[in-house]
Every structure is written in structure tokens, then in C-alpha cells.
Structure 1
Amino acid sequence: MTKYIKNPMNSNEQMNLKEKLDWLADRYLKNDRDEIFADYLREILKVDIDGSIIPEPVRDPLTNEVRGLMVIGASQTGKSALIDRNLKHLGIFSKMDGDAAGNYVHCRVPADATIKSLGQLVALATGYQVSDRSKGHEVWTIVRHRMKEFGVKLVWIDEAHHLLRPGAGRDVAGAVQALKSLLQENTGVSVIISGVPKLEEVILKDEETALRFVTLNLFPMTEGAGEFERFQRFIQICADKLGVGMPRDPHFAERIVFAMNGELGRSIKLAKAILRQALTSGKVELTLGDAARTYKMLHKHTQAGPFDAGTWPVVKATLIELGWV
């Protein structure tokens, strides 16, 4: 389970390289989005007398329908990490993974998925393999039956935008209708769908479906805001724990965020990659050159970049002139 950093100054002397790498990979940056996500969950899930979320959908007493949550953000913004971490942290959900144990289903939609193949994935998560010969509506009849039978309370469809790609043999309207029907049917489940902005764009074209989802948009970080300050502290805490000295540049975190267009998830991924390279190469102190090499390795960048030598305001201005923003 993902852990918070509670004491950054613990000695790292007893950690070998593998332990350090595992520790780094497991880090999660708690941020404002966690509380915001919880607020949105309270819109689709019930709360007890103390205001704690419970695994039971909020149901409209007039229509008997439930509501869904749509989480939207650019690729690698941290959508999946946010949802996964917070569902685990609540302590009220357990994921079904090929058997009938658990009360929520998580399906990551493949790029070539259809609404039928998604239904097969959901059924498989509940421990039932649907024949390829079954028709799409038959697959979803089985899915709804199994979710009701085994007490599934939440379905999370990750990378849901893949369902809405146009093309031969694909049914965008049918996919939207299927998402809506999950909230209409008397299955007792709430639905989270997550994906890139294209997902929201398509859903909004169907007013009936759009009205059934509340939407959480994950926007880029702003320098100087609380989220950025937490990110900056996160890097320092990780470096201290791992025994790696930070670059002698007060704007190092800003360079990372600029390189990743302000996206929190991508910024964390790059920061971890830079630290990981330092660990595996035996460095005890990072330089901007080290960060530049890692960045260029991951992003195939060979021209001027955010980790170039020079004061950050000058480097940033040059990059903006070159069209980085």
C-alpha cells in the first residue's frame, strides 16, 4: 500500500540500493487533490452520521438512479494514482481481481477496446469469463447480474476515452449509452470514469449522460501555489531520505515543473527518474547536467531544455521564445 512520508530525516544507512529504489517507487505526494477527490466522492457515495464515506451509492429517490464521477486530465497527470491511492486509503473498498471477493471493480480500457470487450473485462474481474460468441447486450446482462449478486458498489473504468474513439466497427453512441445505463440500472453501483479531455468532450455531447456525472478536472500546477510548494518539499524529502544531495539551484523544482508543462503526475515521475538515476549510478550529489541527461533520455530531447546551465529566469525566457509555452 502506498505510504506517506512521515519522517524524512530517518537514517538511510540501513537501506541497500534495492530498498532505496523500492522506497522511492512507492512514494505518493499527498496534495490538495486528495481532499477535493474525497469531496467529489461524497457526491456519488453515501456518508455515515460522522460524515465518513461509506461504500453505498447515493440514489435519487424519484428516479432510483445513481450518479457517476468523471476524472479528467491530460495524459500522465496522475489520475490513476489519485483514484487508486484514495480508494485504498478510505479502507472501505476492496478490489475484485478475478474472484468474487471484493466490492469494487477496476478496469483499465485497452486502446482497441469495444463496449463488449469492456464488459468481458468487468465480468472477468468478478471471476466469470464470457464467451466471445456472446453478443454485447448479453455480456452486459451478465455483468449487471454478477455485480448485483456479489455486492459490487463501485466500478472504475480507467482510460475510458478509448471506448469513444471513432472508426470502423466502433459504436461511440453505444458506448456512451452503456456508461449511462450503468447508472440507470438497479445494480446498486456507482461509476468512476477517468480519461483525457476527449472523454469529457464526447460525454458532454449527450446531455442525459453528462447530467449523470460530476466532473473533476485536474489542471496543471501553478508556481507559488500550495500544490507546487508541496511538490518542491516532496523532492527535498526524497533526496534527504535517499542520501542524495540536491542541485545547487534554488529553482530546480520549477525547472522540473516547466519541463512537464505543470502536470503534477508527470513532474513527480520525472523527479523520481532523476533521483533513481543518481542512485543507480552511485552519485551522492545531483547536478543540473545529471537532470538534463535523464530528461533527454526519457523524452528524446536534444535541443535547449529546462536543465541547461544558467540562471533559471534567463533559461526560462529563452525557452519561451523558442516556443515551449
Structure 2
Amino acid sequence: MNDIIRSTAWQIAKLRGHYIQHERYDPLKVRFKLLIEKRLADIASGRKTEVHGIALSGASGTGKSSAVAQLIASSREDLAQSSLPSAAIISLRVPSPATLKFVGQTILRALGYHLSSERQAWYIWDLVRHQLREREVLFLHLDEAQDLSSRGTRQELDAVASMLKTLMTDEEWPVGILLSGTQELENILNHDPQLAHRMDTIHFASLSPVNHAPDVAGLIEGYARRAELGLAPDALEIALSERLIHAAAYQFGLVIEIIIGAIEIALLESGDHLEWRHFKLAYEVRSSCADAFNPFVVDDYHRIDTRQVFKRGDE
């Protein structure tokens, strides 16, 4: 049994490391690549112009984090072969509490710089700009960026917008900003028109069973093939994909998670085919719900709120 668990863990790790390119990723990749190339051209020609950024918003589970991780990894590879191979892209998650001072300290740590004593916010941000220039950072990625304005006061929004604009308009070394977060991120941009005009916006929308069920069926087949599993006849039904989209609360990233969860169960059973019941069990493991609240079991699955867990009765 230990060998099966170990083998399954390795298989699942490989599946999680495989990024599925989808229709929403391509506009993000093209836009980011263009901004990097513009920046490299400016540097090569000695121009010091203001730069733009990208804001990626979407509900939790839409696959934003995976998309940005793939984007940054491929962009770093491209930069290594560019006219400025020493250039860097720094990525970090907005800390909590997301005070400007704490955010600045977190950026410094991501840059490999550690403060030896307590400093005021203005000093920290002067260091941030200096270190961004010294490291030749082209882009700074802030994940969960909606937390930059967690309290949502006008003063806080003003400070956040001013900080982002300052980085992008720095006369010595402007830095592009990549923001990713939930739809509350949009409030930061809408608060300051000047900031909004400097950001290209991309939104990862929810899935539609009508429009995306065939694509999800392709995902099931693709992941099963990578796991060297066949597909049982009931796993080929379009109805399974429709139920899977609902089970994932219509979010792309959660669809992937449930597919991988179903494959994990099939592998632990030492099976050679992926079946409908594996999705039922994967959702049960994920939500700890009774069959009456499992969208892979009941006929009227649309009534189930799949964002809730531990559903066992009519409460």
C-alpha cells in the first residue's frame, strides 16, 4: 500500500506541475510580452519613459495564480535570452496586514535586502526604489493585490495608488506593475483614473456549462492520458463535464483541482480507467458532504451551493 501511495503522490505532483493553456491565458501572455519588449527597447535606446502595467482580476478559483506563475516562469526564460539577461521579475504575495510599510518591507525581502533596524515608511520605499533599480527589475508582481486596500478608506486608496504610480513613473528606473487578485482589486483602479490609465485590465470570467462543457471534457481526457488512465464510458458523457463545472462553482482552477482529485482516487485504487464515481468521491473528499449534496449524485444538482462544505442535512 505504501508503494501505491508513493507512486500516486509522484503522479499527482506531475499533474499539478503541468499547466494547461486556455483561451484566457493567451491575451495575458501577449500583453505582458509586449510590455516587456517595449521596456527592453526603451532601455536599449537610452529612453526613460513611464511604463504601464497589467491588472488581472477574477473570483477565487478562476486559475489566476497558476496563469501568472506560468507567465512569469516563461517570461524569465525569455529574459535570460534577451538584450538584458540580468533583468528580473519579482513576484510576491501582498502581506497581511497590508500597510504600505509592511508591503515595502516584504518587497525588500523578496529582493534579498534585509533591514537591520526599524525604519519609517518613506525610508523603506526609497530603499525599494533603489533596490529595484540595482536589481534591474522590469516587473513587480503583487498577488492578492486587493488586500492593498483591505480597509477601503479613501486615505488608504490614495496612498496605494500613489505608491504604484510612483514606481511606474520613477525617473531613474520605472518598474512595470502586475497585479492579480479578486474583483475587489478593481476598486483600487477605479479610485484613481491616472492609475487606471496606466494599467491594462484582464478579467478571468466564470465558466459556462453551455459554452465550456466540451472544453472541460477535453481537460478530463487530457489529464487522464497524462496519468496513463483510460476513460470509462460514463466519464465521456458531456453531462459529467456540466456537473463538474457546477461542482467547481464555475471556476476554471477548481475544475482542474477536482479532475486531479478524481485521478488521485483512481490511482489509489490501482485502477486503469477514470470513472464518473471517481469524481463523486473526489467531491465528497473535498466537501465532506452527504450524497444529497453531491452534484455528481443527485438529479437536481443545480440547487446545491458548491461553495459550502460539511453539508449533511437540510440545515
- Tell me the secondary structure at the aligned position of residue 107 of structure 1: strand
Letter in 2 for 1:153: L
CA displacement, residues 290-323 of structure 1 (integer Å, 9 cap, x when unaligned) = 32222122124334332016xxxxx3xx233567
Give 1:121 shift: 1.4
Match of 1:4 in 2: none
Change (3 A) 1:258 1:167: closer
- Tell me the secondary structure at the aligned position of residue 171 of structure 1: helix
Q: How does 1:1-325 map to 2 (within 5 A)?
A: 16-42=7-33, 44-47=35-38, 55=40, 64-90=49-75, 91-93=77-79, 103-131=88-116, 133-166=118-151, 171-186=156-171, 187-223=173-209, 225=211, 228-249=213-234, 250=237, 251-302=239-290, 303-308=292-297, 315=299, 318-321=300-303
Letter in 1 for 2:250: G
Contact 1:57 1:189 in 2 (8 A): no
Contact 2:138 2:176 in 1 (8 A): yes
Q: Distance in 2 between matches of 1:283 and 1:241?
A: 14
Letter in 2 for 1:242: A
For the aligned residue pairs, the C-alpha RMSD in angstroms reads 3.0
Letter in 1 for 2:258: L
**Mean CA deviation greater in 83-92 or 239-248:** 239-248
Letter in 2 for 1:197: Q
Contact 2:263 2:278 in 1 (8 A): no
Give 1:191 shift: 0.8
| Off by >6 Å, runs of 4+ in structure 1 | none
Q: Distance in 1 between matches of 2:71 and 2:152?
A: 35
**Mean CA deviation greater in 117-126 or 171-180:** 171-180
Match of 1:6 in 2: none
Letter in 2 for 1:305: N
Give 1:86 shift: 2.1
Q: Distance in 1 between matches of 2:27 and 2:144?
A: 20
Contact 2:52 2:198 in 1 (8 A): yes
Unmatched tracts of structure 2, length 5 or more: 1-5, 81-85, 308-315
Question: What percentage of residue pairs aligned between the two structures are identical?
Answer: 22
Q: Distance in 2 between matches of 1:62 and 1:275?
A: 52
Unmatched tracts of structure 1, length 5 or more: 1-14, 48-53, 95-100, 310-314
Letter in 2 for 1:116: K
Contact 2:49 2:174 in 1 (8 A): no
Give the structure with the larger helix fraction: 2
Q: Distance in 1 between matches of 2:92 and 2:144?
A: 9
Change (3 A) 1:55 1:301: farther
Give 1:211 shift: 1.6
Change (3 A) 1:200 1:43: farther
Q: Distance in 2 between matches of 1:127 and 1:62?
A: 28
Letter in 1 for 2:226: K
Change (3 A) 1:62 1:237: closer
CA displacement, residues 176-222 of structure 1 (integer Å, 9 cap, x when unaligned) = 32122211223232110110000112321222221211110001223
Letter in 1 for 2:241: A
Give 1:92 shift: 2.3
TM-score (norm 1): 0.78
TM-score (norm 2): 0.80
Letter in 2 for 1:260: A
Letter in 2 for 1:171: E
Number of residues of Structure 1 aligned to a counterpart in Structure 2: 288
Contact 1:44 1:57 in 2 (8 A): no
Q: Distance in 1 between matches of 2:158 and 2:190?
A: 12
**Mean CA deviation greater in 110-119 or 145-154:** 110-119
